[in-house]
């Protein structure tokens, strides 16, 4: 139907779900909380929020969501993950707990506890060439890092020391930081662009 807003799910098993819902709604999307496979089938895009990746993994499996999310990503569903969501989208986790699994979709290796307990959070401005000016004000809260980027993925942003903190691959987008808490909407806008392109 013409003019119908894109319907984007936020995986609502654990983490900062409400903040993503608020950003999506501010951009004119219909935002829905997703906990079950039948709900996943109703959305045009998906956000995997920050939280604790090992908990999201366990809950995704116990709710029967792990395989449906993997299948949706492989089928081209536009997906954006922040912080723990980035970990869940990595093909490989460098320091996962025993048995920890991810959804995959990004040809990257991610380290969960990249900054150590002593430096749990910080803020910085990042140049993201694909998003243009101004720089992205990024908040890192117990953040992961992308240790290596495989040939299928590409880096979108790095810290001043070169460590990668934002990546993309096809229909999948991931950031180690939390734009949903700073009023930064361009990554969510990029997700909605991917959703609209897939619907057209």
DSSP states of 87-118 = HHHEEEETTPPTT------EEEEEESS-S-TT
Dist. CA 195–CA 192, nearest whole Å: 5
Buried b (16+ CB within 10 A) or exposed e, 140-169: bbbbbbbbebeeebeebbbeeeeebbbbbb
| Among candidate residues 56, 58, 62, the one with its CA nearest the CA of residue 144 | 56
Dist. CA 98–CA 116, nearest whole Å: 19
In sequence order, what are the residues at sequence separation of 6 or more whose Cβ sits closer than 8 angstroms to the Cβ of residue 194? 45, 78, 171, 173
Element (H, E) at 137: strand 136-141
User: Strand, helix or coil at 125?
Assistant: strand
30 is catalytic: no
User: Of 19, 180, 184, 188, which residue is the catalytic one?
Assistant: 180
User: Of 19, 83, 184, 188, which residue is the catalytic one?
Assistant: 83
User: Of 19, 20, 178, 184, which residue is the catalytic one?
Assistant: 178
67 is catalytic: no
| Contact between residue 46 and residue 65 where contact means Cβ atoms under 8 Å apart | no
Active site residues: 83, 178, 180
């Amino acid at each position: 139907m013409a003019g119908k807003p894109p319907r984007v799910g936020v995986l609502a098993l654990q983490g900062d779900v409400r903040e993503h819902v608020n950003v999506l709604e501010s951009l004119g999307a219909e935002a829905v909380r997703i906990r079950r496979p039948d709900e996943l089938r109703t959305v045009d895009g998906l956000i995997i929020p920050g939280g604790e990746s090992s908990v999201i993994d366990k809950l995704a499996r116990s709710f029967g969501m792990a395989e449906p999310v993997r299948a949706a990503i492989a089928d081209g569903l536009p997906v954006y993950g922040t912080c723990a969501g980035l970990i869940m989208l990595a093909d490989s986790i460098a320091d996962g707990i025993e048995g920890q699994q991810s959804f995959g979709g990004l040809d990257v290796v991610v380290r969960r506890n990249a900054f150590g307990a002593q430096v749990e959070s910080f803020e910085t401005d990042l140049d993201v060439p694909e998003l243009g000016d101004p720089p992205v004000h990024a908040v890192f809260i117990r953040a992961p890092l992308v240790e290596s980027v495989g040939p299928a993925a590409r880096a979108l942003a790095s810290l001043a020391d070169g460590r990668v903190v934002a990546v993309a691959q096809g229909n999948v987008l991931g950031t180690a930081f939390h734009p949903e808490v700073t009023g930064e909407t361009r990554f969510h806008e990029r997700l909605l662009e991917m959703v609209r392109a897939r619907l057209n």
